[in-house]
Amino acid sequence: MQDAIKNRIPIHVDLQPNRDELYSGICLKSNDKIFIFICFNDETKEFDGYAIIRNYEIYKYREWNEEELSEIENNNYAEYIGKLPLGKMNNMFECLSELKNEKLIALFKESDDDSYFVGRIKNLSENKVELKLLNEDAEWIGNEKIKIEEITYIGFRTSYEKELLNKNTGQ
């Protein structure tokens, strides 16, 4: 993995049998707690935002082959290099602490792979994060408190969050 990080090699990360998820992108950091990567968007064929997952969920990974590499239409990964304080992001709590000023983040919980929360961090403690939620119509709704230990995925600065922010006139 360290070789893939150093050489910015795109990889697929497979979470099966833990969860039926396959993520693609360029890994920026991997330790025994978290895995931080630049996301690859299969629809637009370019790199699109960041994600953080728990490292224990990764079952296996593999580097992209030549055919997969040729599918990249806009190799824009350099736009995402050096934009995160990776040295301060060593576990989920530290990652959330560094993301307190993000306009929007998306969170998935381990108990529910099919739904997720999108919002702005309102409060953060060592055990819980409270989000001010934004719904799919870009309307601010109630708050949600989530135990940090239950978070399996954090996404941010992707086209999805940007689209919601653009729809939201309350910014």
- What pLDDT sits at residue 171? 46
Cα(123)–Cα(39) distance, integer angstroms: 26
Q: For the whole model, what pTM was predicted?
A: 0.93
**DSSP code of 74?**
B
**Alpha-carbon span 154 to 51, nearest angstrom:** 5
Domains and CATH numbers, the chain: 1-87 (2.30.30.100), 91-171 (2.30.30.100)
**Residue 144: both structure tokens together:** 């949600």
pLDDT for the residue 112: 65
In the prediction, which pLDDT does 113 show? 62
Q: pLDDT averaged over consecutive 10-residue blocks of the chain (171 residues)?
A: 91 88 95 97 96 93 95 96 97 97 92 81 97 92 95 94 81 46
